[in-house]
Structure formats: C-alpha cells, structure tokens
Amino acid sequence: MQYFNIKSLDDIEKLSDLFSGDSVMQDTISNSVRNILQDVKQHGDSACVGYTKKFDGVDLTPQNQEVSADEWQQAAANVDGELCEALEFAAKNIRIFHEKQKHSSWEIERDGVVLGQRIKPIERVGIYVPGGRAKYPSTVLMTALPAHIAGVEEIVMVSPPDKETGTIDSVLLFAAKIAGVKRVFKCGGAQAVAALAYGTETIPRTDKIVGPGNAWVAEAKRQVFGTVGIDLIAGPSEVAILVDANSVTNWVVQDLFAQMEHDPMTRCLVVSLSEEKAQDIIKTLEKQMQTAPRSEILLQAWQGNSFVCFVEKLNHAVEILNRFAPEHLQIMVDKPR
C-alpha cells in the first residue's frame, strides 16, 4: 500500500504514472498470451491439456477435458438444498430482467422498398468462468442466461479445473445446468480463450466469448477480438472509495476486501477527506486481513496495487478519482450530493 498526502494538483500529477499500472508487466503478459494463443491454434487439444497441467496442476487428456455425464450427476448431488434454492431464485430474477432486454425484428415499406432490422441470435457463445482462487456461480448465471434467453443455440462454458478434484466445482456445474449450458470444459486461462476462438479437436469454436478473468484472460480476449466477438476487455478488479470523517470504517474495509479477494492484481484506492479516517481504515484493514478468508490474496493486493490518499479539498478528490477511473466507485461520505 502506498500512502499520499495530496496538497496540490502537482501532487496529483505524480499519481498518474502509478495509476497507469506496470507497463513492463503488461508487456510480459502480452507476449506470454501471444505465444499461448499461437500454440493452441497450431496444436489444439494437446496444447490445452499441456497448459492445464502446467498452470492448474491437473493432468487431463483431450478426451476427458469435457465434463462427463457422471460428473454432471455427481455435481447435482453435491450441492445442498439451500444453495440450490438460492441459485434458482437468482436465476429467476436474472431471467425476468433480461427478458425485458430482448429486441424484436421490425420492418417498414416505403415506396416499394422494404427497410428494417432483423434480430437473430448468435449460433454459439463461449462463456469464461473463473476458477481456482474463488468460485462464482453468479458469473455462470449472468453470462449464460442472457444468451439462453436470446435464443443462442449452443452455450459452451470453460473454467479451470479444481486442483484437488480435477474437475469443475459442483456449484458452478449446478449453475450451468439451470442456466441452460450443455457443454462444459475443464480449461482455463489464455488457452481456454484460444480454444473458444479457434476451436480444437474437442472444444468447439464459438462466435463470441464473454465473461471475466484475470489479466491473462483479458489480454487473450483482446488479442482474439476480430477473429471472434467479445463482450469487453475487463482486467483485474478495480475499486475506489471516497470517504470522510463520518464514513463507517468497517464498511469501507469489507467493500475493499470484496474486490481484493478476486485477484492479487486487484487495484484499490481510498481517497479520504479526513486524515484520521484514512489512518483508521489502514489500521483496521491490516488487522482484519490477518484472520480474513483468502488473507494471502488480500495481502498481495494490498501490498502491490493499493493506494490511500488524504486530501483537504473535494475538487482534488474528484480529480484523483477521475484519473484512477475505477471499475467500481463508491461514495461513502456524509453528503454525497
């Protein structure tokens, strides 16, 4: 974590390079991803299972990359009833929302000329679901259900296999089942994006790839865009929180943890209008982090990509937040308007 006492616009200017990230690291990721994409494009399944063994520690064959009928059945039996009900409830709400988003074809005729718009679903969509450090059934529901509602014929899901079991987490598979996913492959990282973009002997080529991932997944999606459609380029999570003397410290800390636990490369920023509150947040966070779940990842994110800024002027706070331009922005001040 880096702490800054901001007194002028010149001080803010010095933050810009820090906020832009590590360009050397980005170049390393970009080159690594380029090699992985090319390898999968040329060698298909053999490259995929090789990277799965290297990065995920799971030894697969091309034939058992796809989740089997037995694995689907076992997953359904493993998920407890209360969680099943919660996922079904979430799926129902997501369906209701996305049903309202559906577009319809239309046409008009003017002087013998027919004009209009024809809406057709994409034939095959690939969804990337993160695995490993955390399991997010919500990602399955929020990516697969809109595709299912839109009428996509085939939804293909990829996710890194669990190192202990060698398969996909049961909760993710249950979420996939209720979201209409029929095929799931034990493959993650840039190699999974490559497989969805180019196709392999067992993993079908898709027309569009959606879903979040780490920096390697985001870079892979960026590089295959054009060969295949993508939703957006979303890197590691980012959160910025504006606080003042009246902010509830524990709320701030817990909301930081909610993003930090995703990835060691998560970027966090706290901008405080109170120096005392800034120090209280730092002290509380570092104390709670010692006993929090996933403390190792929290510590890496806190030490590597986190910033706390004390400012006396609100316009300086706004300028810092605009330059950081976070994925998630929270305004926890007494008078937010």
Whether 27 maps to a domain, the answer reads: no
Alpha carbon 289 to chain centroid, angstroms? 22
pLDDT digits (tens, 9 = 90+) for 319-330: 999 999 998 999
* Residue 266, CB-side half-sphere exposure with 13 Å CA sphere: 24
Are 299 and 268 in contact by the 8 Å Cβ rule? The answer is no
Query: Quick count: other Cβ atoms within 10 Å of Cβ 284?
Result: 15
Alpha carbon 90 to chain centroid, angstroms? 19
Q: How far apart are CA 188 and CA 314, in angstroms?
A: 43
Q: Tokens 């493993």 belong to which residue?
A: 78
Whether 137 maps to a domain, the answer reads: yes
The number of distinct structural domains making up the chain is: 2
Q: Domain boundary residue among 202, 230, 258?
A: 230
Query: What is the reported pLDDT for 52?
Result: 97
Query: What is the reported pLDDT for 133?
Result: 62
Same domain, 148 and 246: no
Q: Domain boundary residue among 175, 195, 230?
A: 230
Query: What is the reported pLDDT for 131?
Result: 84
Provide the domain limits for residue 224.
44-96+120-230
Tokens standing for 318? 């706004």
3 state DSSP class of 69? helix
The DSSP symbol for 54 reads: I
Same domain, 218 and 149: yes
Same domain, 186 and 226: yes
Same domain, 92 and 6: no
Backbone angles phi, psi at 212, to 5 degrees: -85, 170
Q: How far apart are CA 170 and CA 137, in angstroms?
A: 10
Give the residue from 104, 186, 94 showing the smallest Cα distance to 145: 94
Whether 28 maps to a domain, the answer reads: no
Same domain, 152 and 83: yes
Tokens standing for 207? 């027309």
Same domain, 269 and 185: no
Residue 164 makes CB contacts below 8 A (sequence gap 6+) with none
Tokens standing for 136? 């997010």
Query: Quick count: other Cβ atoms within 10 Å of Cβ 5?
Result: 12
User: Beta partners for 230?
Assistant: 209
Whether 102 maps to a domain, the answer reads: no
Residues with pLDDT less than 70, the chain? 21-24, 132-134
pTM of the prediction?
Answer: 0.82
Q: Domain boundary residue among 192, 214, 230?
A: 230
Same domain, 82 and 144: yes
Q: Spell out the SS3 assignment of 1-33.
A: CEEEEECCHHHHHHHHHHHCCCHHHHHHHHHHH
Whether 130 maps to a domain, the answer reads: yes
Are 253 and 284 in contact by the 8 Å Cβ rule? The answer is yes
Residue spans of beta strands (DSSP E) within 16-128: 106-110, 113-117, 124-128
- Which residues are part of the catalytic machinery? 327-328
Give the residue from 239, 198, 236 showing the smallest Cα distance to 217: 236
Whether 11 maps to a domain, the answer reads: yes
Same domain, 240 and 226: no
Q: How far apart are CA 315 and CA 9, in angstroms?
A: 10
Same domain, 50 and 182: yes
Tokens standing for 165? 């079991």
Same domain, 176 and 155: yes
Whether 115 maps to a domain, the answer reads: no
Whether 106 maps to a domain, the answer reads: no
Same domain, 242 and 222: no
Which residue type does 265 have? M
CATH number of the domain where residue 311 is located: 3.40.50.1980
pLDDT digits (tens, 9 = 90+) for 282-329: 999 999 999 998 899 999 999 988 999 999 999 999 999 999 999 899
Same domain, 13 and 56: no
User: Beta partners for 239?
Assistant: 268, 328
Are 280 and 249 in contact by the 8 Å Cβ rule? The answer is yes
